[in-house]
């Protein structure tokens, strides 16, 4: 394992801060939580997210439990997405499959960012080839007022799935996740996926009060979703903001940042590391980090060395292998992956991941090969 990261005195201080006082010291986590019992405390992922460098680089993939796995297709069959997410035994099995096959350093719960929206009572389905479809889009102040309250008891199937997966994972951490307020709100306003979110952005400016009430509602739902996963055994969490890259910095800071901060702050007392990831967010990295992240996920549009410089060398970074390189052959993928890992040495620590999710037509053997490549690389400074 290497010594202090090569990013200056501030990084040395940050590493020492993590070593001398654990965020779990005053955490209200259950006594059987993997971070309390010590099962996942020294896992490479957790060490990296706490800004220390483990002997091997941790690696996992967004959307790693998905259609690229034949065992996934066999087990899930024709079960609708939301039904699969809310079947604890099935969700746990789909969570575990990629860890068994690829030997990744973390599992991520098989679920969907729209699960808590559906459990709150909003009419939403997830259509194959389309994504989330909202039966009655939220576009007026009256619509916002009528949004239902999420009963914590409705999250029981999610809690059960987490507990089943954590029991089987043993020393491998489970990552919980939730959608960020902007992305969830944009689905509600647009009625489904939208690359430009014209209605959403118009609502922000046309009726800021209604927008902030909607974003506060989605923030509360996401915070409850994250909190339930953590208390059930998740050792880290990630907040996904898939659509926020379409905003200007000014709009992000005015309309979004505070609501994302509310989600991340809503689980801060639990002491687990929180990763914040957005797609197409090169110009928003600093603002997203300031919302309260412990580590930053970085997509494939910027080098990790440049991202680290923008962030002042203060955050462990996650990413950011271009998913397209999964189809480019071993030589090109190996060269690119090593470049990413070299750039990651500039940050306080590095979790290897893709710059976005695993494409559904990926050869699973390529992912297994990539995990082996990452694990075989000498550690930074080694």
Q: Which are the catalytic amino acids?
A: 63, 67, 76, 112, 187
Structure token pair of residue 208: 């800021």
Reported residue count of the chain is 382
Is the distance from CB of 124 to CB of 147 less than 8 angstroms? no
Is the distance from CB of 288 to CB of 241 less than 8 angstroms? yes
Structure token pair of residue 120: 């709150």
Is the distance from CB of 326 to CB of 359 less than 8 angstroms? yes
- Kindly list the distances between the CA atom of residue 359 and the CA atoms of 110, 301, 366, in Å, as whole numbers in the listed order: 16, 17, 12
Nearest to 238 by CA among 200, 266, 276, 186: 276
CB-neighbour burial class of residue 53 (10 A; exposed 0-12, middle 13-18, buried 19+): buried
Is the distance from CB of 181 to CB of 250 less than 8 angstroms? no
């Amino acid at each position: 394992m290497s010594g202090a990261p090569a990013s200056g005195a501030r990084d040395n201080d940050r590493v020492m801060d993590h070593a001398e006082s654990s965020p779990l010291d005053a955490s209200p986590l259950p006594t059987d939580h993997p971070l309390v019992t010590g099962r996942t405390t020294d896992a490479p992922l957790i060490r990296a997210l706490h800004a220390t460098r483990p002997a091997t680089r941790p690696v996992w993939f967004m959307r790693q439990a998905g259609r690229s796995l034949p065992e996934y297709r066999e087990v899930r069959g024709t079960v609708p997405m939301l039904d699969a997410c809310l079947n604890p035994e099935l969700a746990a099995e789909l969570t575990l499959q990629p860890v068994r096959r690829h030997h990744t350093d973390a599992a991520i719960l098989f679920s969907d960012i729209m699960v808590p929206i559906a459990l709150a009572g909003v009419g939403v389905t997830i259509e194959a080839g389309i994504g989330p479809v909202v039966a009655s889009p939220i576009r007026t102040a009256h619509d916002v007022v009528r949004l239902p309250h999420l009963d914590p008891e409705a999250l029981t199937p999610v809690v059960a799935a987490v507990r089943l997966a954590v029991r089987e994972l043993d020393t491998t951490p489970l990552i919980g996740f939730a959608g960020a307020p902007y992305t969830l709100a944009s689905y509600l306003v647009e009625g489904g996926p939208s690359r430009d979110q014209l209605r959403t952005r118009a609502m922000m400016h046309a009726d800021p009060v209604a927008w902030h009430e909607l974003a506060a509602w989605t923030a509360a739902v996401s915070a409850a979703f994250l909190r339930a996963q953590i208390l059930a055994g998740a050792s880290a969490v990630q907040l996904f903001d898939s659509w926020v890259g379409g905003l200007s910095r000014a709009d992000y800071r005015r309309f979004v940042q505070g609501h994302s901060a509310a989600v991340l702050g809503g689980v801060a007392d639990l002491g687990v590391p929180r990763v914040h990831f957005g797609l197409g967010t090169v110009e928003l990295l600093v603002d997203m980090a300031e919302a309260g992240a412990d580590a930053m996920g970085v997509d494939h549009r910027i080098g990790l060395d440049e991202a680290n410089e923008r962030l002042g060398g203060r955050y462990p970074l996650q990413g950011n292998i271009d998913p397209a390189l999964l189809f480019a052959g071993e030589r090109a993928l190996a060269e690119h992956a090593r470049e990413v890992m070299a750039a990651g040495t500039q940050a306080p620590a590095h979790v290897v991941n893709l710059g976005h999710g695993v494409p559904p037509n990926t050869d699973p053997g390529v992912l297994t090969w990539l995990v082996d490549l990452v694990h075989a690389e000498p550690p930074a400074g080694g």
